[in-house]
A and B are shown apart, each in its own frame.
Chain A
């Protein structure tokens, strides 16, 4: 009876060990897969960030181009009929 109990205990230990080892194997594999997925996600996000930074730079350049004084002056003169005021057209506010 005592021997049978010991044998059951021994088998249980082996089963538990086997389950733990298997679980460990799964957890390890899962974490590696997660690592790889996160790595690819990081690369994707970095690329996205680079793309946005690049786009921002292009927009800054576009803004500088659109704000060029000769362009603004041409629009003011041709579309709105504005001119740089003459001396007698300027009033001083105090």
Chain B
């Protein structure tokens, strides 16, 4: 019993020691473990904390780059002429694709591409490649259904012109990347363009966006450009020009409508036109704005400037008479002819009947220096500074180089080239009392929030003739449109129109052609308070070629419809066409039928 007690005590002691040792071991083990964890925690938090935080951020937060939206182009009444639409482009990362053949076949079918070419493209590219830019929403939906790996849908903007071909030459167009190529799109590219920008997108562990917008539609955009062009007047001008050009089978046609008091272009039409939404399908030759870029010989329309030169210098009066040689006159070895033979004509009649010989005789009085200086003052031979690309200064050589025939020819608008906008600006100076305005097509540049960035309307006019001379030339121009004048087809019954016809022979193989003409008509109305100045030019019309026959009717239509649209009060209203509202109400009240 004693032995067994001792044995039990020994065992118990041994067990107690072993337990204490085990407890110690466990305590040490956990202490070491805790120390390791604590050490690691300190290491992670103190030494690697910043780096790890950045790593985590980069996994959840990503900067996405999106191209900015190009600004809108508005007309004078804030109607959209050019806008940007949100579209989707399809790109691919071929490395991430398992079966390129299958991807190529499926995409080619939906996008109307060649499957073989697409497959080759995917096989030959390792990094990112575009499959097709700016695809339809329907195609996007179909492709998304395939759930193909390695495809990237990228949001972009596409330029759209809601009025199709209306003012296409003025507005221009952009390339696929939204860069302006022609017209206002080119000239004001910097203002309209919006550089790509990046925005932060936070995603959760499942890739779902969290507390962030996709930043695409709410994004930023370039400035908006407001034109002086009025969509309605542009339409009226284009319609009248197209019909005249088709009637006379002209090669080209141009019509420009200007506010003579400000130099603002209200319409700038061209025939034939093109659709800027599909500009690639039209001939490149049709893209340029001929009213700005192409010089042409103005013909007799320039005689009004000659008259202004002579009257301003007080060398002549509108009633000064010249002998017009019965239709044929020799100038420096060359013969100048009139369409109809005339004997004695006053300055006013010379312009009214458009006598070339009379014009030569006036230029003999003014001399070449005064004529040259007046032409230069009116802006010929240099750029007008209009805010459109590719402006031509025209051709006006220095008068020191002029021979006698050159002075004579320039007096009736041959041997000099001008642009349509130059001529209309000069005639507008006559209309507004003698101030040469700078023509302009952009009214203002406005930020997306509506604040004014740039006002393009403030111009300082240059006085080129006195108000008195302006009145005299206006009288002369009004006689052109009166009974017996060459421009009678431009007359309006309710407004006094001032105008001048032009018929210029074109140069063909170095000589003046006998059957190729530029027919034009320039003028303004109403005479006493000009609101609109219009120039119509038709290039190489068939069947008829006189400006008074070919261009004057189109001019008349444009100016009549424009004045009507602008609600300009008639000058020559007879009482039958006027209803006095007060009288009408009075009559009604008295019970008498009006």
Instruction: Name A residues whose Cβ lies closer than 8 Å to a Cβ of B.
Output: 36, 39-40, 42-43, 46-47, 49-51, 53-54, 57-58, 60-61, 64-65, 67-70, 73, 84-85, 87-88, 90-94
Contact in complex: B235, A87 (CB < 8 Å): no
**The one of A47, A65, A68, A69 that contacts B214, using a Cβ cutoff of 8 Å:** A47
For residues 540 through 576 of chain B, which have their beta carbon under 8 Å from a beta carbon of chain A?
560-561, 564, 569-570, 573
Closest Cβ of chain B to A60, distance in Å, is: 7
A27 CA to B560 CA, complexed, in Å: 78
Q: Are B212 and A64 in contact (CB under 8 A)?
A: no
For this complex, 8 residue pairs linking A to B, each with C-beta atoms less than 8 Å apart, are: A36-B210, A40-B211, A49-B218, A54-B86, A61-B80, A69-B232, A90-B577, A93-B581
Contacting pair A61 B217 (CB below 8 A): no
Return the CB mask of B187-210 against A: 1 if under 8 Å, else 0: 000000000000000000000111
B235 to chain A, nearest CB (A): 4
Residues A58 and B85 in contact, CB atoms below 8 Å apart: yes
User: Is B130 located at the chain interface by the 8 A CB criterion?
Assistant: no
Contacts of B217 in A (CB 8 A): 50-51, 53-54, 57
Least distance between B213 CB and chain A CB atoms (Å): 4
Knowing A93-B581, A94-B581, say if A84 contacts B561 (CB, 8 Å).
yes
Does B83 lie within 8 Å of A87, measured CB to CB? no
- Which residues on B sit within 8 Å (CB–CB) of A91? 577-579
- Structural contact, B162 and A65, CB atoms closer than 8 A: yes
Is B100 in the interface zone, CB < 8 Å from A?
Answer: no
Within the complex, what minimum Cβ distance (angstroms) separates B142 from chain A?
20
Contact status A88-B493, CB under 8 Å: yes
- A87 and B572 CA atoms in complex are apart in Å by 12
Q: Which residue of A lies closest to B576 (CB)?
A: A91
16 new A-B contacts at CB < 8 Å, known A43-B212, A53-B217, A87-B493: A36-B210, A40-B211, A43-B209, A43-B213, A46-B212, A50-B218, A60-B83, A61-B80, A61-B85, A61-B162, A68-B163, A70-B239, A73-B239, A87-B492, A91-B578, A92-B570
Residue of B nearest to A94 (CB): B580
Known A-B contacts A54-B86, A94-B581; A42 and B211 likewise in contact (beta carbons under 8 Å)? yes
Is A64 touching B209 in the complex (CB atoms < 8 A)?
no
CB distance from B169 to the nearest CB of A (A): 16
Q: How far is the CB of A70 from chain B (nearest CB, A)?
A: 6
The 3 closest A-B pairs by CB, nearest first: A69-B235, A39-B211, A64-B162
Given contacts A64-B163, A65-B162, contact A73 B235 (CB under 8 A): yes
A49 to B213, CA, bound (A): 9
Pick the contact of B231: A47, A51, A61, A69 (CB < 8 A): A69
Q: Are A47 and B213 in contact (CB under 8 A)?
A: yes
- Which residues of B from 65 to 90 have beta carbons under 8 Å from A? 79-80, 83, 85-86
Q: Are A94 and B579 CB-contacts (below 8 A) given A50-B216, A64-B162, A70-B235?
A: yes
B213–A50 touching, CB < 8 Å: yes
Contacts of B579 in A (CB 8 A): 91-94
Q: Knowing A40-B210, A61-B160, A65-B162 touch, does A90 contact B581 (C-beta < 8 A)?
A: no
Give the residues in chain B near A94, CB-CB below 8 Å: 578-581
The closest CB in chain A to the CB of B581 belongs to A93
The total of chain B residues at the interface (CB under 8 A) is 40
Question: Which residue of chain B is the closest to A66 with respect to CB atoms?
Answer: B162
Least CB distance from A54 to B in Å reads: 5
The distance in angstroms between the C-alpha atoms of A91 and B209, with both chains bound, is 64
Tell me how far the C-beta of B188 lies from the nearest C-beta in chain A, rounded to whole angstroms. Answer: 19
Contacts of B580 in A (CB 8 A): 94
B494 interfacial by beta-carbon distance below 8 Å:
yes
Q: Select from chain A the residue with minimum beta-carbon distance to B164.
A: A68
Closest CB of chain B to A50's CB: distance in Å? 4
The answer to whether A90 and B218 have CB atoms under 8 Å apart is no
By a CB distance below 8 angstroms, the chain A residues around B166 are 68-70
Q: Is the CB of B494 within 8 A of A90?
A: yes
| Min CB–CB distance A89 → chain B (angstroms) | 10
How far is B204's CA from A40's CA once the two chains are assembled, in angstroms? 10
A39 and chain B: residue at smallest CB distance: B211
A75 to B555, CA, bound (A): 25
Q: Which residues of B contact A60 (CB under 8 A)?
A: 80, 83
- Which residue on A lies nearest to B238, using beta carbons? A70
Q: How far is the CB of B275 from chain A (nearest CB, A)?
A: 12
| Closest A residue to B233 using CB positions | A69
In the bound complex, do residue B211 and residue A64 qualify as a contact, i.e. CB atoms below 8 Å apart?
no
On whether the beta carbons of A50 and B493 are closer than 8 Å, the reply is no
* A59 CB to nearest chain B CB (Å): 12
Query: Which chain A positions have C-beta within 8 A of B234?
Result: 69
Q: Mark B138-170, 1 if CB is under 8 A from A, else 0.
A: 000000000000000000000010111010000
B231-258 residues with Cβ-Cβ distance < 8 A to A are 231-232, 234-236, 239
How far, in Å, is A61 (CB) from chain B's closest CB? 5
Give the Cβ gap from B488 to chain A, nearest Cβ, in Å. Answer: 15
Q: How far is the CA of A94 from the CA of B569 in the complex (A)?
A: 10
| Whole-angstrom distance between the Cβ of A82 and the nearest chain B Cβ | 14
Residue on B with the closest CB to A49? B218
Query: What residues of B have a CB within 8 angstroms of the CB of A92 in the complex?
Result: 569-570, 573, 577-579
CA distance A61 to B86 in the complex (A): 12
Q: Are B235 and A61 in contact (CB under 8 A)?
A: no
For B236, the chain A residues whose CB sits under 8 A away are: 84
* B232 and chain A: residue at smallest CB distance: A69
Assembly CA distance A53 to B213 (angstroms): 13
Contact B214 A64 (CB under 8 A): no
Which residues from chain A contact B560 at a C-beta distance below 8 Å? Answer: 87
